Amino acid sequence: MGDRLHGKVALVTGAARGLGEAQARLFAEQGAVVVLTDVDMDRGSAVAVELGASATFRRLDVRRAEDWAAVVRECTGTYGGVDVLVNNAGTGTIPGPIEHETTENHLLLVDLNLSGVWRGIRAVIPAMRKRGGGSIVNISSIDGLVGVAGMATYAATKFAVTGLTRTTALELGRHGIRVNSVHPGIMQTPLVEGASEAVRKALQDLVGLQPIARLGRPIEVAQAALFLASDESSYCTGAGIVVDGGHLAGPHRPGFDTA
């Protein structure tokens, strides 16, 4: 147990499993009142029960503005406001060239990965402003920093989250609201574990070229989010933390490191 978030109310989206679950668990351990949200009510409720009295679960579809309004209204009525928002909810995609991607899939990714973050930021601004400030942590991706062949829309949404982070940091700083992003690399999440054997092998080959040659762990992303959520990062806004095992540090050139 710790107290890095003591007295803070934290709202975490996509908290039923994966990265969001790790964030919710760590935040609760560090003294926050955590409101877990997700569309998976069974799993999300079970995690909240495990965390005890300091946690509660509410259903939230980040694509619905009315869901956002209801959850923030409840946080304000029950706990007095919102101090931390982690925009974690999102989805991946099946790799493939842009010409084969369906319009339906494109629009779904945009609505979940980008517009869901946009709605979340807008929803918490009044509550945070009334509290005198707050911290918004947007979970982007390393694919929001470099292009990725075969993942046009996914990368576009994550680039957009990076841009949205920096722009809203400029707008909201005067209200004491900090906005930062975390950029995970290839992580050991249910999304990756549920991928096809061919995709999993390709990912293992990629991480094998990294300085830290393994998949990332959800707790490692949660620890970065914790820093940005806490007062320890009080002079950080518009910034991004890369958690990728060195994936983006530069190209691996076999033989050069042993010459």
The residues annotated with a catalytic role in the active site are 154
Q: CA-to-CA distance for 187 and 217, rounded, in angstroms?
A: 6
3-state DSSP assignment of residue 112: helix
Q: CA-to-CA distance for 163 and 50, rounded, in angstroms?
A: 36
Query: Is 135 in contact with 180 (CB distance < 8 Å)?
Result: yes
Q: CA-to-CA distance for 179 and 10, rounded, in angstroms?
A: 14
Q: CA-to-CA distance for 248 and 173, rounded, in angstroms?
A: 29
Q: CA-to-CA distance for 183 and 168, rounded, in angstroms?
A: 17
| One-letter amino acid of 38 | D
